[in-house]
Structure 1
């Protein structure tokens, strides 16, 4: 048994506006199948997408605090000119410069219209075929522990692990990377951005949840009530949800 990332959840007071921002930013489309705004490739809503990891922008009543998100997106570029053009276009769409202690770096840190940080990377060969999202990046204290947990939780391949960094990617070699970066920060507020995981058709969600609990996940109550998905936290407290199989 194994799980796959279905999408990245972004909580927003104005989910429609934030969803439209990300659709324009990524060159994708915004779909509104219900209360949330789903952002995925153009051409019609395909969920789960076989290649990309989409975004699902979920309306919440509380605005983001000044606290830096522990999960963010890195956007890929193909040249220095593309990076500069993308940064300018994103600012025109409503993105603002963000300071997260990055200092002098070759990438640009921005925030979406509700303050969720993301990075526009300088061109890197490793991200040449990821699509617009190069990586989903998670701050953590122990990349080795995160690699063990998430490597066992999902059917993605572990590419690299060290004291400072761990990287996974779909075993098919497509789509974005999932990266864990060592940081001394500790969580003080609920995660504004998190992953939703999906069992494969025919797999048992309850069995998958039990397997994750055995790996070190803990039950999580975020006021979700009676819903068909299960909210959990990984060994460092990062929130994630296990959805019912499609």
Structure 2
């Protein structure tokens, strides 16, 4: 029994604007299967048998309120010139520079059209085979505790864990990394960005939720009502969903 990350879920006032931004930013196709939901995904992506993750932007009535999201994306580059070109292109698409206290660093911090922060990294060898998203970064208080939970929750491999960060990636050696980064402060508002996970076909939906609760997850009620997916939080309160396979 195990789960696989399949979607980076982003809440937005205007899902179409934010979805188009991320589709163009990543060079992915953009589609909308229903009002209030816009997906950006690589060509050929099959969410029932995912390799990597795609982006799903969901419309909500509430604007972003946190000074800085506790979950964000880092984008990969292959050279200094590629980094500069990508930053310029993203600004032309509607991204804006933001200061989150990063100081003098080799990466560039931007925000999408609704203020969701992300980074354009300088070229790093480790991210040369990830595709456009190098990693999904989650701010946390205790990376070791997050590593224990998420290593058991998912079928991804734990690559490194220290007091400062924990790093996981698909055992297939594809897709972005998932990094839990020790960050000052605690989570005080719902995450604007979260992961959606998918079970394997042979695993039972409710049994997976029960297993995660035993690992330290908690049920989450965001007013979702009677839906086929399960809304949970990890031990530090980060929201995530276990999607139905219908």
TM-score interval (norm. to shorter): over 0.9
The residue aligned with 2:100 is: 100
Alignment of structure 1 residues 94-133 onto 2, 5 Å: 94-133=94-133
Q: Note the alpha carbon deviations across 1:26-60, whole angstroms, 9 max, x for none.
A: 000111112311110135x6324632200000000
The residue aligned with 2:234 is: 234
* Secondary structure in 2 matching 1:92: helix
- Which whole-Å CA distance do the structure 2 matches of 1:221 and 1:98 have between them? 32
8 Å CA contact 2:9–2:196 kept in 1: the answer is: yes
The residue aligned with 1:70 is: 70
* Secondary structure in 1 matching 2:198: strand
8 Å CA contact 2:6–2:50 kept in 1: the answer is: no
8 Å CA contact 2:131–2:176 kept in 1: the answer is: yes
The residue aligned with 1:37 is: 38
Tell me, which stretches of 5 or more residues in structure 2 are unaligned?
none
Cα displacement (A) at 1:191: 0.5
Measured on the aligned residues, the alpha-carbon RMSD in Å equals 1.1
Alignment of structure 1 residues 205-216 onto 2, 5 Å: 205-216=205-216
Alignment of structure 1 residues 171-186 onto 2, 5 Å: 171-186=171-186
* Secondary structure in 1 matching 2:34: coil
- Which whole-Å CA distance do the structure 1 matches of 2:49 and 2:215 have between them? 27
Which 4+ residue blocks in structure 1 deviate beyond 4 angstroms? none
Cα displacement (A) at 1:245: 2.8
TM-score, normalising length: structure 1: 0.97
- Which whole-Å CA distance do the structure 2 matches of 1:238 and 1:50 have between them? 22
TM-score, normalising length: structure 2: 0.97
Q: Which moves more between the two structures, 65-74 or 4-13?
A: 65-74
8 Å CA contact 2:66–2:189 kept in 1: the answer is: no
Tell me, which stretches of 5 or more residues in structure 1 are unaligned?
none
8 Å CA contact 2:48–2:245 kept in 1: the answer is: no
Q: Note the alpha carbon deviations across 1:164-185, whole angstroms, 9 max, x for none.
A: 0100000000010000000122
